[in-house]
A and B are shown apart, each in its own frame.
Chain A
């Protein structure tokens, strides 16, 4: 079973920041938080991942709470092309562990 809880859907206005929350209250010390997204009928696309520090790349920012029990993915200026299902996944760093996908959050960016 997935170790994360996400809202099933969210809307965001085009050009505004999209903040997608994720709860992972049972995360253990060696587990990373990964975010992927899936645009309709495509494979999952990597966005960002982190352990305990906040992370930023060209796509998004990841804010992880100090107790690591929750995190927020931030798309700073959402566009229509960001409409997708966003998956928050917790995975350990042991080689061979796979990704367990929950239902994710369906983000709709509205014009």
Chain B
């Protein structure tokens, strides 16, 4: 089946710094990518939807200036958490959709100290 990768798999950063997470579709072109966030013992919550070459659409309550999403190509989307705070510590999961189905990445564990 189609593969979605994320890099890094886990990252620790200091409060106030920014961190970038990459999401790649390895063997297909993803016209739409989704970013989810999952806090401990909770379900996945959609943060934003991005289409290649256009601005991302953010869910209510998600700050677009804090969570910068770039979907510059059909195989790569990036999520940058700017000025990270400890409450941003979470499991971030991307998902990529081709014309038929949607596939999920393995997730990135972000810890802000």
Main DSSP-derived SS at the A contact region:
loop
Segment at the interface with B among A9-17, A61-69, A70-78, A100-108 = A100-108
CA A34 to CA B99, docked complex, whole Å: 17
Interface presence of B102 (CB below 8 A): yes
Number of cross-chain contacts by CB at 8 Å: 45
The interface size bin for chain B is: 20 to 34
Contact B107 A87 (CB under 8 A): no
Write out, one digit per residue, whether chain A residues 66-101 have a CB within 8 A of any chain B CB (1) or not (0).
000000000000000000000100000001101111
- A96 neighbours in B (Cβ, 8 Å): 32, 49, 97
The interface size bin for chain A is: 10 to 19
Interface presence of B28 (CB below 8 A): no
Contact of A100 among B46, B102, B104 (CB under 8 A): B46
List residues of chain B with CB under 8 Å of any chain A CB: 1, 4, 6, 32, 34, 36, 42-46, 49, 91, 93, 95, 97, 99, 101-107, 109
